[in-house]
Amino acid sequence: GENVEQHPSTLSVQEGDSAVIKCTYSDSASNYFPWYKQELGKGPQLIIDIRSNVGEKKDQRIAVTLNKTAKHFSLHITETQPEDSAVYFCAATSINSGGSNYKLTFGKGTLLTVNP
Amino acid sequence: DGGITQSPKYLFRKEGQNVTLSCEQNLNHDAMYWYRQDPGQGLRLIYYSQIVNDFQKGDIAEGYSVSREKKESFPLTVTSAQKNPTAFYLCASSLNRGVGEAFFGQGTRLTVV
């Protein structure tokens, strides 16, 4: 099955700096890679995702890059703000037209702290 | 408003008792999932269901049971056979057939004493 490794487990940055979180996956069949943000005591919320047919996707201050050959993908947050402080999870899965077996495999999470 | 609702938010039970966690969604999603979250462990899949009256075991199904009698409901029972039940439980749902995003509920924190 799929295995997702996420680094670092904790990350502390100054407000305004950039933050980068990296994930690797093992299953070459995986083709969908979402990133979730989880605030304390709440459920995860999708912040950005990327499919294997593109190498980069950007949404305002957040971007995700994907290297299929190396089987790794990264989350980039620019101009960080204190409200970006949360736990971030990467995940991977294989979605096909048949729709069977959609199961997200998650990394262990990164606690991001943005210091004012 | 459409969404996925878990109840209760906090649950306390004595050791040896079964307990059922509720998950309801009004998003008309076909697929529903239960994850367990422990500190430093990420999210681990317990059970998932892609259609009514059908469900499959995830990676850590032992000691848990589910049912999917209605499209909008996917309750999880934590049985007395689960050796370490204290955890944060998350329910999620998604459209089936190739659409990716999974929506999560707000979670239930179960404490067994």
Mean pLDDT by groups of 10 residues along chain B of 113 residues? 88 92 94 92 91 92 97 96 93 75 92 92
Q: What is the pLDDT of residue B100?
A: 65
Residue A110 Cα to chain centre, angstroms: 9
CA dist list (Å): B4 to B23, B26, B94, B103: 7, 7, 10, 7
pLDDT tens-digit profile of A18-59? 999 999 999 998 988 999 999 998 999 999 999 888 899 999
For residue B105, which residues of chain A lie inside 8 Å, CB to CB?
Answer: 43
State phi, psi for A97 to the nearest 5 degrees.
-65, -25
Tokens of A46: 């999708």
Q: Classify A29 as helix, strand or coil.
A: coil
CB contact under 8 A, A32 and B42: no
State phi, psi for A78 to the nearest 5 degrees.
-100, 160
For residue A106, which residues of chain B lie inside 8 Å, CB to CB?
Answer: 35, 42-44
Burial A96-110 (b: 16+ CB within 10 A, else e): eeebeebbbbbbbbb
Q: What percent of chain A has pLDDT over 70?
A: 94
